[in-house]
Structure 1
Amino acid sequence: MGAWGTAIFSDDLASDIKDEFRELIAEGHDGETATNIVVENWKSELEDYEVRSVFWLSLALEIIISGEDLKRWEEEPKLLIQRKKVLEKLMNQLNQPQCEPKKIPKRFIAQTDFERGDAIGYKLLSGKYIILKVITVIEQHSGDRYPLFELCNWVSTEFPDKIDIGSFNLLEWTFGNGKKELKKLAIFPSGKKDYPFERITVIAKNVPIQLSDSTPYMLLAWKQFDDDLRKFYNLE
């Protein structure tokens, strides 16, 4: 495989793909069938990233140049004109020098050290504390792990004894219409910086849990938790 210029078809591979596509069209195949045949014929070679890049660029450009894509719009003159403009714009973009490859950041995966039965003291913006109890740790197929909480009906500036935590009632979520309901809260960090380390304290372990670990539950991010506490629990 060799290239003698920077144009898309100034390349042995691209030229071969173009010729193969044109021959299939000449034999009577429609554009979609011809494309499928070319892709099938080059399937094994497409594992090479250099081949893959040239292949798709050249095939896309040849489909535009051949006019095969426009045939399905021939009965709608207005749409045909619009489609031509779209393809012309795409062809210009394909013929432009390609950008430098960009580094794709690794996806953030949420993790937690909490365990079932942990009692978590969360410091409100007012300086007072509330208590969240870990019902379970949710584990997703993506690798994300985050706690599912129940919220105690308790607010104070000092932490209670472990024995008292088990006797606390739970605080209900209040909807906009005034309806109240117990809700389980799955809270996750949406990024590396979205975790209030300085406002969270594990104050007890193996405390009694009241709610089950089944669905449904409310899925919240730590960055919005203060707003949710104010809006739905009147806590701030």
Structure 2
Amino acid sequence: MGTWGTAIKDSDAFADVYSEFFELYNAGGDPKTISKKIIEDNWEILEIEEEKHSLWFAIALAQWETKSLDEDILRKVETIVTSGADLSIWRHLGASEPDLTRRKVALKKFLDKIQTERPKAKPRKKLKLNTAVFSTGECLVFKMRNGNYGGAVVLATDADPETPYNLVATTRINKRELPSLDDFEKAEVLLLNFGNWTDKPDVVWYMPDLYFKEYSSLYESIGKIDIEAQYKVSDRIGLSYLFKPSYTTGWNMSYDAEKQFESELTKPKPTQQLTIKQLIKGERTSKKWWDFLKKGS
């Protein structure tokens, strides 16, 4: 699971499916035909226990928004929610009781929503040019529940208007006072080992879609540092990276940092180490992310 927010939309799988649906819908596609194509093209998601429900949730919401909700899809979502199957997966992945409660509320609200007929179908959007939210090198700060500042670094910006993503690395900055640019350059990358993660570098391509609507109040840029390495959004495998690329619309750097630091109150932090300096100085050309993961094994 690329992201661990409790909202229905907070997962890589949901973002990919939902985005693909409306890309085809805005291009003039028929919702039923689109849904069939997405299910056939993304069958592998259904093989992944922690992601399979996100595919059905994304299709259900997209169909509901386009007034084309299929009864079979609705019944499938009803079964997932009312049977407790989704919560069972979250519990197995190590979610805390507060998060399980929030997830349960989110599931109920989602089901109530799609069980109520939408007045009008969402209009098709005319394709328009988009730009990335941040520029390469920007250092972002955010406040966490413990009262400290966390931080993230923008490693890359995609200039293609069809994929105007930012590659962002969350750091292990956890300071009472506002961090400096020097703090960012010397910082470690946040490795996730809460839930089902095993030392996963929290480095993600973030899509701009929801940033200004839902996340802009969480982050502030305090300046820039130099980035020498170049990363491409088209490299979905990350052949020469020290991390495996993932993609999402949910800007959950602050959530990931909070969950990781809270986890470390009762569980050891990751034994491996990855630094911002490694990612910005071009070390990615000589190593691969799977080689990095082998270091601690």
Pairwise same-fold verdict (TM > 0.5): no
Structure 1 or 2: more strand by fraction = 1
Larger radius of gyration: 1
Q: TM (normalized to structure 2)?
A: 0.36
Structure with more contact order per residue of length (Cα contacts < 8 Å, sep ≥ 6): 2
Q: TM (normalized to structure 1)?
A: 0.44
